[in-house]
Amino acid sequence: MPATPHVEKHFAASASVRDVVIGMADGLTVPFALAAGLSAAVSSTSIVITAGLAEIAAGAIAMGLGGYLAARTDTEHYASERAREEWEIDNKREFEIAEVRDVFVGYGLQGDALATVVGAVTADRARWTDFMMRFELGLEEPDSKRALTSAATIAASYLIGGLIPLAPYFFAGSIAQALPISVGATGVALAAFGAIKGLFTGISPIKSAAQTLLVGGLAAGAAFWLAHLFG
């Protein structure tokens, strides 16, 4: 079906930008909060760096590989539901015809018009199955070719996001020097990321930047407070 311009814009953005947003939102937040939290409890930058790198590796693998396997499960789930619909069309034909009818009754069709439409949709087995998948189950066919690219994009975005708060600890001589640079750099990155995300998702960049800063700030604040308590 032809898409109106705003739709095309919406969908062109969603595939790859969405993966970057998913990875970077957590990548900027969690390693930042961990580094800030540990800064309240330990005296050596090397422990912050070690913990930060371990967290970034773990988070990137959990999000990337976890996301890849989830996408594969979705593809398998779609295939098995589709096979089930095909079986039902072949073996419980009247029941499936009634389901098509119910969809159109919901849109106000009745009488001859209803019968004609139901007849047209159920005339072709492949098209009928397509119809059931989308209108009855609400399932879109997953794009299985994108799963690997998507997983790699999410993992790389997490990695890049996570290295921003951690970088100052590599170069500063002490935690007292590194923490304010890390907070400042990550604050700027979170606000910029939130604003750009707002442009893509269609909400106000200022509001989106404020939300991203809020999540990062609360996460870092809670981590700092907990680490201070137990450290």
| DSSP structure class, residue 5 | H
Among 102, 141, 148, 199, binds its own copies (CB under 8 A): 102
The reply on whether position 113 binds its own copies by CB under 8 A is yes
Site for its own copies in 81-100 (CB under 8 A): 84, 88, 95, 99
Tell me the C-alpha distance between 56 and 218, whole Å: 19
Q: How far are the Cα atoms of 35, 63, 133, 154, 162 from residue 55, in angstroms, in the given order?
A: 10, 12, 40, 15, 9
Report in angstroms how near the CB of residue 134 gets to its own copies at its nearest. 8
Q: 22 near 154, Cβ under 8 Å?
A: yes
The residue among 59 and 187 lying less far from its own copies, judged by its C-beta, is 59
Site for its own copies in 124-153 (CB under 8 A): 124, 127, 130-131, 135-138, 140
Site for its own copies in 2-61 (CB under 8 A): 2-4, 6-7, 10, 25-26, 29-30, 32-34, 37-38, 41-42, 46-47, 49-51, 53-55, 57-59, 61
Q: 47 near 38, Cβ under 8 Å?
A: yes
The reply on whether position 223 binds its own copies by CB under 8 A is yes
Site for its own copies in 60-79 (CB under 8 A): 61-63, 65-66, 69, 73, 76-77
**Helix, strand, coil percentages in the chain from 3-state DSSP, rounded to 5:** 85, 0, 15
